[in-house]
Structure 1
Amino acid sequence: MNFPAILLLRRADPNTPLAAHLAAGLLALLLLLAPPARGQVSLDPGAPAAFQPDRILVKPAAGADLSGLHASLGTTVLREFPGIGGLQVVQVPAGAGVPALIAAYQLSALVQYAEPDFIVHALDTTPNDFRYWDGSLWGLHNTGIYGGTPGADIRAPQGWDVQNSAANIIVAVTDTGAWLSHEDLAANLWTNPGESGKDALGLDKSTNGIDDDHDGYIDDVHGINAILGTGLPLDDYGHGSHVSGTIGGVGNNSVGITGVAWRVQLMECKFIDAQGNGSISNAITCLDYARQKGAKIVNASWGGYNFNSSALYDAINSLRSAGILFVAACGNDNNDNDARPLYPASFNLDNIIAVAATNRTDAKAWFSNYGAHTVHLGAPGEDIFSCWNGSDSAYQYDNGTSMAAPHVAGACALIWAHNPGATYQQVRNSILSSTDPLPTLASHTVTGGRLDLYKALMVSIPSGTTTGTPSPAPSPVPSPVPVPVPL
């Protein structure tokens, strides 16, 4: 029996031009910013998946009460998601095996589905910000340095003349958390209104040690840590800080970098740990939190092959029902996602935007996955400079579709701020109908092009529209039923 692996879509690029490597290394040495190099994450599309040995995901049939079934199997419910059809995270009893327990649940008419809790791994107007002017942020404005092609970028300066702030838009970053005091992130972090201000005793809600808004998390001021069940999403891996910086690093503050959106509300939802591992159940916890707290966009720079989790599909569909966009990295294995899907990017839901990576010369990055029918567009994802963990002024280059997706998420935020009455379908269409055609993406993506912020902002969206009820989502392709094995 094989279960698939899920990996955060990030990896180093050994084919980066030597000049770029030398420049990046010199800048890091001078600024003492870069942490020690880490091993690359390798993703084998055919590899079996790991899963949590101590819990599974179970969704009751409509109106079913599973309490008796849980009692008969010796299981307990750890977490429940009313907004996702009552989906439950169920504790596996000591001595029991995951495949056998799943089979027992699937035999009951009370259960819609039961599946493993798969493990995920980390994939990893003009501003005055220093790193914008020295050419490091080529994805925003490519001047041709380090072997790049002038104009091979998302046309951010032209777009910023139209809209550079999305201060009222919440973007949930489901990742490894963030360095919360970083000079280019702190001012753009979302602040939970239920955990800020004074409580009845005059104490600061953000530090009073009380779950003031009764959401299950104490002092969740800027987001949550779903791994520990706390309100402190500290980044101990670096990936989440990097993604956050690309979406919404503070613009025009004279230091560091700028994100696609100079101002935005970054909701940090940590479910990936210091080793780059996470679980579907914790990812769903983050998605459900983002939905309840008013996020308009979710960035998902993670994914994997050989699984089709109904629970994860249901969670993203619940975002869709709430009018929330889901921007997903498409993978880093030069894989055709049409032939071998990578999820969640390949789920057939119209609130998903699947993103490939491009490089400084406007070509598809050598590592980037593609798919003429399943990957929507490209965005800069090679040699991307952004925030890092380790200090309040840490920055680093990184590569991957993990870096491409946040360019699109940031663009979606600006479009929504520019068109506050737009639906998620209209924002998505603005992105997909306005790409710059690229030869290397012509037969590799749905649009055949790379993100163009300026053209996307110029797409006309009728005023006065409101988010309506979307049409029913298509049913997911069911995952293979696990075969019980000896315990």
Structure 2
Amino acid sequence: MRIKFFGILIATLLAVSCERNIPMTENIPETTPQVMVPESGTVLKGYIRVKMDEELTDTASLGRLFPDLNIVSIERTFPYCGKFEARTRAKGLHLWYDISFDPNVPLTKAATDFTHLEGVQYVEFIKGIRPTEVPYPFNDPQLSKQWHYYNPGSEDGKYLSGSDINLFNAWEVNTGSSDVIVAITDSGVDWKHEDLASNMWVNEAEYYGTEGVDDDQNGYVDDIYGYNFCFTSDGAFAGDISPENHGTHVAGIVSAVNNNGIGVCGIAGGNGKTQGTRIMSCQIMTEGTDKANNERAFKYAADNGAVISQNSWGFEDPEYFPQSLKEAIDYFIEFAGIDENGIQTGPMRGGIVLFAAGNDNVSQAAVAMYEKVMAVSAIGPAFRKASFSNYGKWIDIAAPGGTQIGNEVYTIRSTIVGNNYGGMMGTSQACPHVSGIAALVVSQFGKVGFTNDMLWDILISNTTNIDEYNSAYVGRLGSGLIDAYKCLSKEGPNSPNPVSDIWASSISNAITLKWLVPADVDSGKAFGYDLYYSRRSLEDLDPDNRSDDVHLVSCRTGILDVGDTVSTTLRNLAFDQTYYFRIISYDNFAHRAPLSKQISHNTQQNNNPVITSKNGTSVTLKAFETKKLAFEISDPDGHDIIATFEGGSNAASAARNDNVITVTINGPYTSAGTYEAILTVSDPYGGVTNQSISYTILPNTAPHVIGVPNNVYMKNKSESVTLDMKNYFADDDGETLTYEIASSSTSIIVKPTFNEDILTLQGNWFGTTTLTITAKDALGASCQTNFTVLLRDGKQDFDLYPNPVSDVLNIRMGEEQLVDIAIFTVTGAKVFETKGNVSPFHPVQVNTTAWSAGTYTVIIKFDNKQIRGNVVKL
């Protein structure tokens, strides 16, 4: 039976950028419902949340009302809830809807469309709040790429704050212990990897023993870092571990060495001073074969000290689960951490077996569905189910595994073979997150009496609810997203201290709130906060029964310490209004402190956006030229800016790059004249600024001839001649000209090539041709000149052509000469004579039409020389 791993290696990711037109949108009227944006740039694109009247809750028609939004889905924010539906409707929660649409559509455009729809009560952008600057706890250079450990969110909404395992807080409690051994039942782990070697399990009896001998008498020879249970071609066990990427990647997530100044971090990889959790490689798959004794791997791991079995693999047939494998798994669960006498010798009595749920996006999977193993599903960086992850009520828990959305991939960073690092995605990557956290829990609480059942309960009981992001998979992704910090915390009876003081400041319709992290007797500090705000007093606020005009946002303390400042900004509030605020702090077990005292603060008026010219607002250019003007756009209130452009002619266009608008004037695109363009910038609240741009395009001046090339005489085919076109053509506009050349001869006498203004003529065939050169400017205006090229054999003193001749005979000299020419019949009779200058371009022409057919002798005398040749008269 074939097995398969649940990881996907990402080799290459190509990105394509393109210039775009300036987006256009309508202005939002003054009656626009308030929209809460917790922090600049962190709003989730492609999503809004609206509250509608009862009459509008027929969502099937909304997509047809707004075709420009390309609506993907419309779902109730609070889904149907059975026996609690009546009270849900009584509170009006069924009127809230989450609307997903094309993320390229501006949020302000979507908000405008819905606020114009009668019956819409509220429009909200979707996003939580988070602290600002975050120091990384260890010096591993690629830790910042491991979003799955700490995810601060991203401006484009593709990463949502908190969609991680909350590892940084957990590391303040425990970073892993070498007393804990995790069996990586997978392809082989690279035990020599620079970021894994220090945390590898080492069988010292074999390491220091005799090669080829079972020194510890455990039934396996030379099993130093584990064992390779794959079969070789002759049916024997391979024995020696063969390092491969998949197993090495999984191992790095569990326990790559931390704080060593290289590579990545592992969840239970230590702190640089103390060793982390140890990795045992139990290889069951290798390149070239997927056949192995998987069952032996579990028993080997249990008998040699492992208490956690990490498995990111499964069978292709989801119904295939052999009894032998089931019994081997049961053996590990029962006897891991226990010696042959039934005495607990490990940090935990009994073992835990974790399996990846699989990557087929289906509701079943072999092995992972077994009720005694912990099945792990995968989520992406925005709390949503990974596109590939299997699902079902048999899933126990979720963890980050990366995802793929269209052509974009979000991977998990870890170790791969050969001291390298790479990204993979899959439930193969999600599962070792839970195994690593399990190792932290056993490191923290492990002792005689600590059991695998206790560990199981801790893991599945300390999660973050992700149902609101996965309404189609409620109850089918496990108990939630695992939270490492919660798993290491002990529930105490006390709630955190209340938030004592709140400071507020405002810019335009945004209010920034700050407060100090309060202490907690049980866990040291508050875990998170519920922030309530409204335009009416909150003195009588009941947090459990708030009215529709009281808004709530939540955030976590993250890695801030007691006394540090939490800061968040509420945006898109109403202008010139008073808002009231109260905050509740809570711990990681949802014990809530009393409400803070109420404070109030006013928003300010809206200010228009600003356009600043960087190199002028007018330009004059020649007809062939292209010139650019740059404008910086900004908004004093920090609002989003919409820019539009009216060019005045086809010559003007505009492109936006962040907050710089580049206006390009292309002279050739329109006729001469003076034009005006208008650049307009606006905010979503009606603030508008216009900038006039004047540009003048001068009339085009055609090129003209300033000289005629001399005729070219070439004496052999290998000869070449160069001519500079600047000596023959000029353009008063100063533009660069292009050239074309035509020949009067059907034979290719010379081969012409242009390199900018330089023409090269390469000899090719004997003969004469007239070359015509045409010079053109950018607008196509042109002029031309011509000259003659003669290519002859320079070794000959003269030429007689055509030969034979029927009418006119040409007599041409190789050099200009004063000559005497006489022509005789075969009997010696003279039929022609002349005297004069003869040159290559000025031959003597003799009319032979009256001559009889036959052979004639031509005698030429010059410089005391005499040469002769024969010609045939037809």
TM-score (norm 2): 0.36
Report the secondary structure of 1:167's partner residue: coil
Structure 1: unaligned runs, 5 residues or longer: 21-124, 197-203, 462-487
Maintained 8 Å contact 1:222/1:231: no
Q: Post-superposition shift, 1:9?
A: 1.4
- Of 398, 415, 419 in structure 1, the residue corresponding to residue 441 of structure 2 is 415
Calculate percent identity across the aligned residue pairs: 32
CA deviation after TM superposition for structure 1 residue 407, in Å: 0.4
Matched, 1:217 2:248: no
Match of 1:248 in 2: 255
1:232 maps onto 2:263 in alignment:
no
Larger strand proportion of the pair: 2
Which amino acid in the other structure matches residue 476 of structure 2? Answer: H
Matched, 1:257 2:264: yes
* Correspondence 1:59-70 to 2 at 5 A: none
Structure 2: distance between partners of 1:186 and 1:12: 22
* Amino acid paired to 2:139: N
What does residue 119 of structure 1 align with?
none
- Structure 1 contact 132–257 (Cα < 8 Å) conserved: yes
Equivalent pairs counted in the alignment come to 330
Counterpart check, 1:11 vs 2:8: yes
Q: Tell me the amino acid that sits aligned with residue 6 of structure 2.
A: L
Specify the alignment match of 2:169 in structure 1: 158
| Corresponding position: 1:433 with 2:461 | yes
C-alpha displacement of 1:194: 2.5
Residue type of the partner of 2:414?
S
Equivalent residue for 1:128? 139
Partner residue of 2:281 out of 252, 268, 271: 268
Residue aligning to 2:797 = none
Q: Secondary structure at the match of 1:269?
A: strand
Residue 406 (1) aligns with residue 432 (2): yes
Cα distance in structure 2, aligned partners of 1:172 and 1:415: 16
Contact 1:217 1:230 in 2 (8 A): no
Deviation at 1:225, TM superposition (A): 0.9
Structure 2 residue 482 is matched with structure 1 residue 451: yes
The one-letter code sitting in structure 1 at the alignment partner of 2:352 is L
Cα distance change of structure 1 residues 231 and 264 upon mapping to structure 2, 3 Å threshold:
farther
Other-structure match for 2:388: 367
Match of 2:352? 325
Structure 1 match to 2:649: none
* Paired residue secondary structure (2:279): strand
Give the secondary-structure state (helix, strand or coil) at the position aligned to 2:277. strand
Counterpart in the other structure of 1:309: 322
> Could you tell me how far 1:187 is from its partner in structure 2?
0.4
How far, CA to CA, are the matches of 2:260 and 2:9 in structure 1?
Answer: 29
Residue 376 (structure 2) pairs with residue 376 (structure 1): no
Describe the shift of the 1:175–1:436 C-alpha distance in structure 2 as closer, same or farther (beyond 3 A): same
Aligned AA (1:268): S
1:195 aligns with 2:206: yes
Change (3 A) 1:187 1:313: same
What is the alpha-carbon distance in structure 2 between the residues aligned to residue 218 and residue 311 of structure 1? 24
Q: Which amino acid aligns with 1:7?
A: K
CA contact (8 A) 1:336 1:371 kept: yes
State whether residues 411 and 453 of structure 1, in contact with CA within 8 Å, keep that contact through their aligned partners in structure 2. yes
Match of 2:687 in 1: none
| 2:452 counterpart letter in structure 1 | Y
Matched residue SS, 1:361: coil
Question: Is this contact kept in 2: 1:5–1:306, CA < 8 A?
Answer: no
How has the CA–CA distance of structure 1 residues 139 and 405 changed in structure 2, closer, same or farther, with 3 Å as cutoff?
A: same
5+ residue gaps in structure 2?
Answer: 17-135, 270-275, 336-349, 403-410, 493-874
Contact 2:242 2:286 survives alignment (8 Å):
no
**Would you say the 8 A contact 2:188–2:242 is kept in 1?**
yes
- The structure with the larger Rg is 2
Q: d(CA) in 2 for partners of 1:243 and 1:13?
A: 15
1:143 to 129, 149, 152: 152
Residues 438 and 5 of structure 1: CA distance in aligned 2, closer, same or farther (over 3 Å): same
**Distance in 2 between residues matched to 1:275 and 1:362, nearest whole Å:** 37
| Mapped partners of 2:281, 2:15: distance in 1 | 34
C-alpha deviation, 1:6, in angstroms: 3.3
The 1-side partners of 2:329 and 2:152 are apart by: 38
Distance 1:384 1:13 in 2: 10
The superposition leaves residues 155-201 of structure 1 with CA deviations (integer Å, 9 ceiling, x where unpaired) of 000000011122210100011111111011100000113324xxxxx
- Distance in 2 separating the partners of 1:161 and 1:356: 27
- Displacement of 1:10 in angstroms is 2.1
Q: Partners in 1 of 2:219 and 2:242 — Cα distance?
A: 18
TM-score between both structures, scaled by the size of structure 1: 0.64
Q: Secondary structure at the match of 2:142?
A: helix
Q: 1:358 aligns with which of 369, 379, 384?
A: 379
Q: Aligned letter for 2:174?
A: Q
CA contact (8 A) 2:363 2:390 kept: yes
Relative to structure 1, the CA distance from residue 385 to residue 454 in structure 2 (aligned partners, 3 Å threshold; closer, same or farther) is same
User: 1:460: how far off?
Assistant: 5.4
* Residues 175, 10 of structure 1: alpha-carbon distance in 2 compared, 3 angstrom cutoff: same
Per-residue Cα deviation, 1:338-372 (whole angstroms, up to 9, x for no partner): xxxx12111122xx210001111111101000112
Whole-Å separation in 2 of the counterparts to 1:343 and 1:423: 26
Q: CA RMSD in A?
A: 2.3
1:297 to 298, 304, 308: 308
Structure 1 SS opposite 2:8: coil
Q: 1:443 to 1:19 in 2, by over 3 A?
A: farther
Map 1:343-354 to 2 at 5 A.
343-349=366-372, 352-354=373-375
Distance 1:277 1:317 in 2: 23
Q: Deviations over 1:235-292 (max 9, x none)?
A: 1x3100000000100111110001111111100011101146233xx11111111011
CA contact (8 A) 2:2 2:291 kept: no
Task: Tell me how far apart the structure 2 counterparts of residues 17 and 435 of structure 1 sit (CA, whole Å).
Answer: 32
Report the CA distance shift for 1:358/1:13 in structure 2 as closer, same or farther (over 3 A): farther
1: CA distance, partners of 2:451 / 2:280: 21
8 Å Cα contact 1:221-1:231 kept in structure 2: no
Deviations 1:19-52 (A, max 9, x none): 69xxxxxxxxxxxxxxxxxxxxxxxxxxxxxxxx
Quick check: 2:3–2:290 contact (8 Å CA) kept in 1? no
What secondary structure does 2:280 align onto?
strand
SS at match of 2:177: strand
Query: Does the residue aligned with 1:278 lie in a helix, a strand or coil?
Result: coil
- 1:380 shift after superposition: 0.7
Paired residues of 1:381 and 1:399 also in contact (CA < 8 A):
yes
Q: Find the aligned partners of 1:274 and 1:187 in 2 and give their Cα distance.
A: 26
Summarize deviations over 1:433-455 as a string: whole Å, max 9, x none: 011000225332331x1111001
Say whether residues 1:386 and 2:394 are aligned partners.
no
Contact (CA 8 Å) 2:352, 2:452: kept in 1 or not?
yes
Query: How far is 1:5 from its partner?
Result: 4.8
Among candidates 192, 208, 211, match of residue 211 of structure 2: 208
Q: CA contact under 8 A between 1:257 and 1:386: conserved in structure 2?
A: yes
Structure 1 residues 103-133: Cα deviation after superposition (integer angstroms, max 9, x where no partner)? xxxxxxxxxxxxxxxxxxxxxx822111103
Following the alignment from structure 1 to structure 2, what is the Cα–Cα distance between the partners of residues 246 and 270? 17
One-letter amino acid of the counterpart of residue 307, structure 1:
Y
Give the direction of change, closer, same or farther, for the CA distance of 1:257–1:185 in structure 2 (3 Å limit): same
Decide which of 155, 176, 185 is 1:174's aligned counterpart: 185
Whole-Å Cα distance in 2 between the matches of residues 443 and 433 of structure 1?
14
The residue type paired with residue 474 of structure 2 is: A
